[in-house]
Copies of this chain bind each other. A is one copy, B any other.
Amino acid sequence: MKNVTVEDVARNCGLSRATVSRVINGEARVKPGTIERVKRAIDELGYHPNAHARALSGGRTGTVAVLLRGGAWRPYYSTLLEGVEEVASRAGLHVLLRTHEYLEAAQAILEEGRADGFIIRNLDEPERHRRLFDRLAARGAPFVLVGDPVGDCQSITIDNVGGARALAHHFAEHGFRRVLFIAGPEGHIDSNDRLYGFKLGLSEKGFDQAGLELVRGDFSTPSGFNAMRESLQSGRPEAVFAANDRMALGAMLQLRQAGLRVPEDMAVAGFDDAYFAEYVTPPLTTVRQPFHELGVTAMVTLERLLSGGQANSRHIILPTTLTVRASCGCRYAGHNPPIPEDRFETS
């Protein structure tokens, strides 16, 4: 089965390759009638322009690379990618996904000309990312950062500070005096920002910082379980705020095992609004992250850069939402019946 090429289309409609190419690329200065003829020929022959020939001859690749840290996969990647893809596919762009050793891979993708632009979820290793950003800039390849804003690179982040601050205010309304914060790994920007926002919110409400205890986990459920145990050995806080929902879940499991009731004996809150948050017992009070919107915004922004435009803001921050359920001691009328829309499917 031989390939259909511009040549074939040109012959079929009695025009030149150049004209056919112009029609395909929607250039101005083509007679309407000509456009018609070309389009008919394209349909008739079932012609699809070869992507590599286009890219090689100076056109775009029509591909964006999405770089996410691998190693431990994160369920929210699904939601994020969905947002990215939604926008990309509408714009006729393809998504090249890379997680495994993406820093090395990114360079190859760039140098081999495989993508027009990049979306990069940079969480750690700032030095190595810097080098990558420099290379991208040198090559004139647009890129959008998701996670940690660096210098004046275009970035999209989530309002960690604001979310944690809102939760702190809520805790303050409950009147808690002794509070535990279960942090993520040292130096992790999300954990740091949440701690910062939490402290800020507490102090705004006149909270005595001496009542704040900090134990460190690694964002995993077991680490929350262990952190809670560690804290229990030195005393008993009135409330716990974990830097993510999974550690909050771990803390709840520890409390149950220690014979303590949530929220009667201790309030618990998390961050993320993970799938299970509303289904644990009691339903978890948390701060919701807009992962889907994060993906959408990242891709919309990249698209704008690709077409030579600029984003409205160099550093876009998406709002987070305090989601009050029952684990903080509030009344919660949720999931009864459970919410009807349920975006996740496991089968």
Q: Which A residues are closer than 8 A to B by beta carbons?
A: 1, 46, 48-53, 55-56, 61, 63, 66, 70, 72-79, 81-82, 85-86, 89, 94-101, 105, 108-109, 111-114, 138-139, 184, 188, 190-191, 219-223, 225-226, 243-246, 249-250, 253, 256-257, 271-272, 274-276, 279-281, 335-340, 342-347
Which residue of B61, B190, B339, B347 is within 8 Å of A347 (Cβ)? Answer: B190
Q: How far is the CA of A160 from the CA of B225 in the complex (A)?
A: 33
Contacts A338-B225, A347-B190 given; does A97 touch B81 at CB 8 Å: yes
Q: How far is the CA of A114 from the CA of B53 in the complex (A)?
A: 11
Q: How far is the CA of A66 from the CA of B120 in the complex (A)?
A: 20
Contact present for B48 and A111 (CB under 8 Å): yes
Q: How far is the CA of A220 from the CA of B275 in the complex (A)?
A: 12
Which residue of B56, B97, B112, B190 is within 8 Å of A85 (Cβ)? Answer: B97
Contacts A85-B70, A96-B95 given; does A275 touch B272 at CB 8 Å: no
Q: Could you tell me the distance in whole angstroms from the C-beta of A11 to the nearest C-beta in chain B?
A: 19
Q: How far is the CA of A258 from the CA of B76 in the complex (A)?
A: 33
Q: Could you tell me the distance in whole angstroms from the C-beta of A206 to the nearest C-beta in chain B?
A: 29
Q: How far is the CA of A279 from the CA of B245 in the complex (A)?
A: 12
Q: How far is the CA of A98 from the CA of B93 in the complex (A)?
A: 10
Which residue of B226, B243, B275 is within 8 Å of A276 (Cβ)? Answer: B275
Contact present for A89 and B73 (CB under 8 Å): no
- A89 cross-chain contacts in B, Cβ below 8 A: 98, 100-101, 105
Q: Could you tell me the distance in whole angstroms from the C-beta of A253 to the nearest C-beta in chain B?
A: 6
Given contacts A50-B112, A222-B338, 12 further A-B contacts (CB under 8 A): A1-B139, A50-B56, A66-B97, A70-B82, A74-B78, A82-B99, A85-B99, A89-B98, A190-B347, A223-B342, A244-B346, A253-B335
Q: Could you tell me the distance in whole angstroms from the C-beta of A43 to the nearest C-beta in chain B?
A: 13
